[in-house]
Amino acid sequence: MTKVKHEFKTEVKEILHLIIHTLYTHKEVFLRELLSNASDALNKVHFHSLTNSNLYDKDQPLEITIHIDEKEKTLTIEDTGIGMTKDELVTQIGTIAHSGTKKFLKDLAENKDKPSDLIGQFGVGFYSVFMVADKVTIESKSYLPEGEAVLWESDGTGTYSLDESPRRKRGTSIKLHLKEGEDAFLKKEHIKALVNQYSNFLAFPVSLEEEKINQPEALWRKNRKDIEDDEYKEFYKELTHDFMDPIHWEHIQSEAPVQFDSILYFPERPPIETPGMATEHGLKLYAKRVFIQDDCKPLIPRFLRFVKGLVDSEDIPLNVSREAIQDDANITKINKILTKKVLDALAKISENDPEKYQTLWEKYGNFLKEGIYDELSLRKKLTPLLRFRSSKQAEAPTVTLADYVERMVENQKAIYYLLGESMASLKESPHLDLFRKHDIEVLLLTEPMDDLVLSHLGEYDDKKLINVESGELDLPEKIAKEVEVSEVEGDMKSLSERIQDLLKDKINKVKFSKALTTSPCRFYNEHGGMSHSVKKIMSQMQGLENMPFKRDLELNPDHPYIKDLATKTMNADFKDHALLLYHLAGLFEGQAENPQELAKLILPHLS
């Protein structure tokens, strides 16, 4: 064979320019691409060795070697894989998106053999070398005994040459003549770090000169029965750089409907999140043990962003660059499987190890709550995982909705809850007066999102979830009649009208109710609409934190202070008393809207 010069096809020139200048975000991915291609070549020759005894150089070990020549400024990646003939080099390197892997799979399909363990599109990945090299030399010897060795050279500008090669060893050698300024790729430690980052778990040994620098046995590919707990813990620390042991892990190995292996961890510490700032989340993604992406969000729903781990699949398709993952049905399938596995694991822990689940809930409960309003299809699985404090169990959040329903009093039709600033203020809330009197349990919530969660949930076991701030409590008939107040007259009527007039900028309505027993007043939500706590959250989201909301005020006609006040509606200081009632209702909720005004109203009563 004599040296012959060839023109790249037009589309190759165009796409080559795109790849070199814009497609890849990190230059170092060229090494990942070359190592992945070398691994493919080794997979292919291994497959053929199972059925073909007439393999060239059949005793050659299956391995990848990296050579550095600092003097010549070259970096060489060599494999003992399947190699290429002249025609294969022209087809695979000369044409973008016509890959060795695609052709190989096509040949296998025609031969009705099972597809082998392959990844990626060789042509595109190969051209990433021109981001760091101004000249590339390929020498390749095919596994076919009659195939002659070939030499391919190009500077990536539009042409390449083909010639004979003196190579006698089966496989492929790719030598990169590095550009000025790319000397980092001549440093052994840098190459080791890149192999560790991208290709540490390739199925074949990778050596830098004489030193093996990868771990061919991926933990997630091993049989779960053969792995010790300490191995899982050490792998977690290596994967996440966390020095603490994980609380729990799940090792998932799936063959259908999509093939993948995964190890998921529940860390000891939840992620630190800053309000208003996006938080990176997602799992590490590998394809055929080749690292593809950190924080791959499509693999797991956002509300499970506290879960750490990885997924390795042969069925995940890749775009022309491994920098991006196609929005493919297989990714959706993996997401569904992983989500189910995580929720099933949590359900199992909650049933078999309540103490451990309590630890998990206290760390990750708020994330699971997000799933209630983010993932409608998962509410049925998430609801049993919810835990609450209540008026009967305030020390720790251990109450499930099933527990609550089991303890409901006779004729009780709803599940009641109350949101407040703190557990201390909730325990003293006037909203609980009526419920304590009739031994009705109330869930006590201190997280602003809790009201949103239960509002979205709506009901449980055909029982409405009702905030006790609501004016429509759907109480058992006997209790409802007890708290009902007939139309007020005389002093009480004057009291309500006077307060309504004086506080018209602060309140919508004043009413009397015997739902209060020990407290003179409270705020309530007249028609069971959006509660005050939800309004606050919505206003914060819209940047309207200081926007006042009118409240509905409820008075206890049997309370001594209210009875006395009803006789003083025409007194000069009555407005101060009306304002004091308004502030008291806020204090009972654990909120002080205007502490300075409140202090001025209280001081006269201290002398």
Task: Check the CA dihedral 529-532-538-542 and report its sign.
Answer: positive
Q: Are 522 and 516 within 8 A, CB to CB?
A: yes
Beta pairing class for 4-7 and 64-69: unpaired
CA atoms within 13 A on the CB side of 543: 1
Beta bridge partners of 64: 79, 206
* CATH numbers and ranges of domains, the chain: 13-212 (3.30.565.10), 219-351 (3.30.230.80), 386-479 (3.40.50.11260), 485-605 (1.20.120.790)
Quote the distance between the C-alpha of residue 49 and its chain's center.
42
Distance (Å, rounded) from C-alpha 358 to C-alpha 346? 11
Strand partners, 66: 77, 208
* Span 359-388, pLDDT tens digits: 999 999 999 999 999 999 999 999 999 999
Mean pLDDT by 10 residues, the chain (607 residues): 78 66 71 90 89 84 96 97 91 58 43 34 66 94 90 89 93 96 95 92 92 90 95 92 94 94 96 67 86 86 96 72 61 94 98 96 95 94 97 92 96 93 86 92 91 90 91 85 78 92 90 86 72 59 61 90 91 90 85 82 79
pLDDT at 192: 95
What residues contact 386, with CB distance under 8 A and at least 6 apart? 365, 368, 369, 372, 400, 401, 453
* Dihedral, 245, 249, 252, 258 alpha carbons, nearest 10: -90
Of residues 261, 311, 304, the one with CA closest to residue 283: 311
Residue 311 near residue 296, CB atoms below 8 Å? yes
pLDDT in tens, 149-194: 999 999 888 889 999 999 999 999 999 999 999 999 999 999 999 9
Position 98 scores a pLDDT of 45
SS3 306: coil
Name the phi and psi angles at 254, rounded to 5. -120, 140
Report the residue count for the chain. 607
So what's the pLDDT on residue 119?
29
**Segment 131-145, tens digit of pLDDT:** 899 999 999 999 998
**Helix/strand/coil (H, E, C) string of 495-513?**
HHHHHHHHCCCCEEEEEEC
Chain segment 269-327, per-residue pLDDT in tens: 988 776 655 567 889 998 888 887 888 888 999 999 999 999 999 887 654 344 456 56
Contact call for residues 415 and 386 (beta carbons, < 8 A): no
